Amino acid sequence: MNVTQQQDTASALSPKERTVLAEELRLLMNVHDAIAKARGDALAARDTEDRSLTGLKELREQAGETSADDLPTVLLDMSVRHRLLERGGRHDLPDPASPYLAHLRLREGNVERDYLLGSLTFIETRANVRVVDWRVAPIAQVFYRHREGDAFEHELPERVIEGQVVARRIVVIEKGELRRVVGSDVAIECDASGVWRSLSRGALELSGGGAQTSARPGILGVGAGLKDRVGPADITALLDAEQYAAVSAPPEDALLVLGSAGSGKTTVALHRLARICAAQPHKYPLQHTKVVVPEEGLARLSRRLLSPLGAGSAQVQTLDAWSADLAQRIFERELKLYYDAPGLVVSFKRHPCTYRAFRARFANLDGERTTWQRLRRLIAEQFSNRDFLTKIVSDAAGDLSGRCIDAVIQHTMRQLADDPRRELSFITDADRREALDGKPIYEGSPEEIARTLDIEDLPVMLFLKIWRAGTGGRQYSQLVLDEAEDFSLFELAVFGDLVGKKGSVTLAGDEAQQTASSFAGWDTSLATLSTRKVATCKLTTSYRCPKPIAELARHVLGPMAPETPLLTARDGVPVGDTHYPTTEQALLSCVDAVADLVEREPKASIAVIAADAEGAKRCYDLMQHIPAARLVVNGDFSFEPGIDVTDVDNVKGLEFDYVVVPDATGSAYPLTNDARRRLHVAVTRASHQLWVVSGGVRSPILRDAPGGALTR
C-alpha cells in the first residue's frame, strides 16, 4: 500500500493525527528509497572492498557538501566504514521490512532535524535520512531522557547541542508498512483491514490510583503504622476467618499454610510467630526463632515486617546464608563457597531423588565420627560416579535431563583441580598476577572454581553429618519456612533436627510458584521435616491480586492450576497488554510507561520484572536516567517508592503497586511447566495493575488468554 492509499484510509482520524500520519509515511518512503539506492550501489560493486571504498568516497563527497551540524555524524560513519574495511567486513543496510523503531525530531535554533532510531547507523544526508543505532548513538540518549516539548542540552563527542524536542514517537513498521505510531498525545494504528484508527490512551499507559496499595513496612505487612495512615490498627482484626484459624493453631502442631499468590501466606506465618512469642515467651523465646526464605528480597521484607516485635537480622535468613553459617559453626572452618553452579548441576543436587540416593548409599555412616575432609571426599566421589548419577536420573523419571550427568561430573572435576593461586605463587610481583582490570587473572574462568564447594553441597554435608548423630539438642524454639516449595529434602531434614520435637513449626507455600527442582510434595516434605501432628490451612482468597490478574495467573498455570479458582477480594483495573514486532520497541514502550507513571504517582512502588538478570540489566540500561529507577539483582530492595528493575528470581513473596513484565516472549517463557510457574510468579506480584509487554514472538503461554484478563 503506497503513501496516498494509506492516507486515504485515515478519514476517521483527527486533523492532527492525519498530519502525524502523513509525516511518518513520508519519512518511511524516504528511508525505503535511500536503502534501495544504497543496495543498488552495493550490488554494482565487484567485492566487499570495492563497496567499502565506494561508500567512503561518497561520504567524502558528502563531507565536502554537508553542513557543519551534520558533519560529525558523516565523519563518524566514515570511521566505522574504515574499520569495516580493515576487517574485511561489509557495511550493512537497515532491513526495509522494519528499518527503524522510533522517530525523534529536534529543533536546534531555527533548524529542525529528524533522527530515526534503528539497529544500525545509516546516514544519507542528501536524502535527509539519519538512521542511528539506538543502543550506542549519542543522539539516541535525547530520546530516552526527554519527552516531547522538553528543552534539552546534550553533550555529543564533538560538541554540545541544545534545543527542543519537537516530536518523539515510537513507530511500528511491519513488512515495510507503517502499522502504528505512538507519541505523547497521538496514538494511531492501522487495523487488519488497512484502516487507520485512533488508539485509546488507556490501552497504552498504566492506570493511576494504585500508589500504596501493596504491603508497606508496618505491623506485619498490612500498612498499619505507616506514615500518613490514620492511627495504628489492631492487626488481628484485619485477618479473615481462614487466616485467623491458621494463626490460632496450637504451637505444638506443625502448621502448613497453603495458598495462591497474594492470599496472605507470609502474613499468616509471621502472625503465628508473633502470637506464639507473645502467648508463651518462655517456652518459645523470640531470640531462638528462625525464619528462613529462599531469596534475599523476601528476607529483607520479613525483617522489616518483624521489626516491631524486636526481631533482628539473626532471626531471618536466606537458605544460602543459613546453610553457610550452620556449616561454619558445625565444621569449625572457613569455607570457600561457589554460588554460580550451572543450572543443571543445581537442579540435580537439590532433587528429591538425589536425597534418596544419598540416604541409601550412606545408611550406615557415622556422622559424628566423620570429619569434614572425609565428607568432602565422599560427596566428590558420588558426584563424579557416572553409575550413581545415572541411577538418580533414571529414578527421576524424566524430571532430570540426561545432560545433568556430564554437567555434574565436569563441574565436580573442576572443583577438585588445584587452586590456580598455587600455580601463580612463584610470581612475586603482585601486579603480574592481575588482569588489566585489576582482578585476579583466573577470575571468571573455569579455574576460578578450583578447590571450592558449591553452596548446594552444604545441605548434603550437613545432612550426612547430623543424620544419625544430631546436633546436640533443639536449637530453634520456632521455625518458619516461607516459600517452602523451594526447600530441598536435605535442608528439611536438617531443619527437623534443629527444631526438635518440641519446637513450633510453620511452613507456608504454593507448589504452583515452585521455581526450583527440589519440591518433593507436601506429604514428603512434612514427613522429612517432622513426625508431629500437622494442621493444614488452605487460603482461598487473594487479597493482593485483583480479579483480572487472578484470571490471567490461572490461565498462565494451565494444567497446573488448582481445580477451584481462587476467590478475589476486588475487581480492579484490566491487565495491560502490548505487543511490538521487535524487542527494542517493547523496551522503549516500557520506558515510556514507567516514566509517565512515576511522574503521575511518585509514591507508587513499580516493579519491572524481567525473566532473568540479563534481561533486567537491558531494561535498566534504558531507564537509568530516571532518578527513581533502581537495578535490583541480589534482593537488595529498599521497599521505597520508585521503580525496581529486577528479575523473577528476586521477587518471590514480594508485592508492588504496579508490575510491568517487559519480555513476555516465546524465548523467555516457552510452553513448559517451569516457564508457566516463573511467569505466574512475575504476574502475581501486582496489587493494583499488571502490564504485559512483548516484542517479537509472543509467549505461547499467553495464547487464548481470557478476554477479561487482557485488555487487547
Q: Which of 274-288, 322-336, 376-390 has the lowest mean pLDDT?
A: 274-288
DSSP state of 698: B
Higher pLDDT residue, 54 or 234?
54
Residue 269 has pLDDT above 70, yes or no: yes
Confidence at residue 435, expressed as pLDDT on a 0 to 100 scale: 46
Distance CA 538, CA 259 (A): 6
Tell me which H or E stretch contains 711.
none
Closest CA to 693 of 187, 205, 98: 205
What are 642-696's pLDDT values in tens digits?
999 999 999 988 899 999 999 999 999 999 988 999 999 999 999 899 999 999 9
Residue 11 has pLDDT above 80, yes or no: no
Mean pLDDT of 342-363: 95
What are 72-86's pLDDT values in tens digits?
665 555 565 555 555
Mean pLDDT of 285-303: 90
Confidence at residue 312, expressed as pLDDT on a 0 to 100 scale: 66
Helix, strand, or coil (residue 406): helix
Residue with cell 555412616: 365
Residue 93 has pLDDT above 80, yes or no: yes
Distance CA 169, CA 299 (A): 41
Residue 484 has pLDDT above 70, yes or no: yes
Q: Identify whether the C-beta of residue 216 lies closer than 8 Å to the C-beta of residue 639.
A: yes
Count CB atoms within 10 A of the CB of residue 567: 14
Distance CA 686, CA 561 (A): 19
Q: Identify whether the C-beta of residue 96 lies closer than 8 Å to the C-beta of residue 38.
A: no
Q: What is the chain's mean pLDDT, rounded? A: 82
Residue 296 has pLDDT above 50, yes or no: yes
Q: How far is CA 148 from CA 156, 163, 513, in A?
A: 20, 12, 41
Residue 489 has pLDDT above 60, yes or no: yes
Q: Which of 103-112, 529-538, 639-648 has the lowest mean pLDDT?
A: 529-538
DSSP state of 484: G
Distance CA 326, CA 340 (A): 20
Q: Identify whether the C-beta of residue 692 lies closer than 8 Å to the C-beta of residue 576.
A: yes
Mean pLDDT of 459-485: 85
* Percent of the chain scoring above 90 in pLDDT: 44
What are 557-598's pLDDT values in tens digits?
998 888 777 788 778 888 988 889 888 889 988 898 899 899
Residue 384 has pLDDT above 80, yes or no: yes
Backbone angles phi, psi at 24, to 5 degrees: -70, -35
Residue 434 has pLDDT above 80, yes or no: no
What dihedral do alpha carbons 576, 579, 580, 583 form, nearest 10°? 90
Q: Count how many Cα atoms sit within 13 Å of the Cα of residue 69 in the half-sphere of its side chain.
A: 15
pTM of this prediction exceeds 0.85: no
Q: How far is CA 19 from CA 13, 104, 235, 564, in A?
A: 9, 16, 58, 52
Distance CA 463, CA 358 (A): 10
Q: Which of 226-240, 347-361, 422-436 has the lowest mean pLDDT?
A: 226-240
Closest CA to 396 of 289, 507, 481, 520: 520
Residue 615 has pLDDT above 80, yes or no: yes
C-alpha cell at 687: 496489587
Q: Identify whether the C-beta of residue 337 lies closer than 8 Å to the C-beta of residue 329.
A: no
Confidence at residue 438, expressed as pLDDT on a 0 to 100 scale: 54
Mean pLDDT of 265-287: 87
Confidence at residue 193, expressed as pLDDT on a 0 to 100 scale: 86
Q: Identify whether the C-beta of residue 178 lies closer than 8 Å to the C-beta of residue 1.
A: no
Helix, strand, or coil (residue 293): strand
Higher pLDDT residue, 228 or 321?
321
Q: How far is CA 440 from CA 18, 335, 365, in A?
A: 61, 19, 40
* Percent of the chain scoring above 70 in pLDDT: 79
Distance CA 506, CA 321 (A): 20
Distance CA 496, CA 482 (A): 15
Residue 47 has pLDDT above 70, yes or no: no
Count CB atoms within 10 A of the CB of residue 404: 25
Confidence at residue 213, expressed as pLDDT on a 0 to 100 scale: 64
Mean pLDDT of 90-116: 89
Q: How far is CA 635 from CA 300, 623, 638, in A?
A: 8, 19, 9
Confidence at residue 82, expressed as pLDDT on a 0 to 100 scale: 57
Radius of gyration (C-alpha) of the chain in whole angstroms: 30
Confidence at residue 342, expressed as pLDDT on a 0 to 100 scale: 93
C-alpha cell at 410: 565436569
Residue 501 has pLDDT above 60, yes or no: yes
Quick one: how far is CA 425 from the chain centroid? Answer: 41
Q: Identify whether the C-beta of residue 302 lies closer than 8 Å to the C-beta of residue 321.
A: no
Mean pLDDT of 105-122: 92
Q: Which domains are present in the chain?
A: 3-199 (no CATH), 235-330+457-542 (3.40.50.300), 547-702 (3.40.50.300)
C-alpha cell at 50: 570495492
Q: Identify whether the C-beta of residue 453 lies closer than 8 Å to the C-beta of residue 335.
A: yes
What are 231-257's pLDDT values in tens digits?
333 344 456 777 777 788 889 889 999
Helices 15-44, 48-65: axis angle to 10 degrees equals 130
Residue 301 has pLDDT above 60, yes or no: yes
Higher pLDDT residue, 261 or 160?
160
Count CB atoms within 10 A of the CB of residue 627: 9
Q: Identify whether the C-beta of residue 648 lies closer than 8 Å to the C-beta of residue 633.
A: no
Distance CA 470, CA 472 (A): 6
Q: Identify whether the C-beta of residue 302 lies closer than 8 Å to the C-beta of residue 309.
A: no
Confidence at residue 473, expressed as pLDDT on a 0 to 100 scale: 58
Confidence at residue 693, expressed as pLDDT on a 0 to 100 scale: 94
Confidence at residue 470, expressed as pLDDT on a 0 to 100 scale: 66
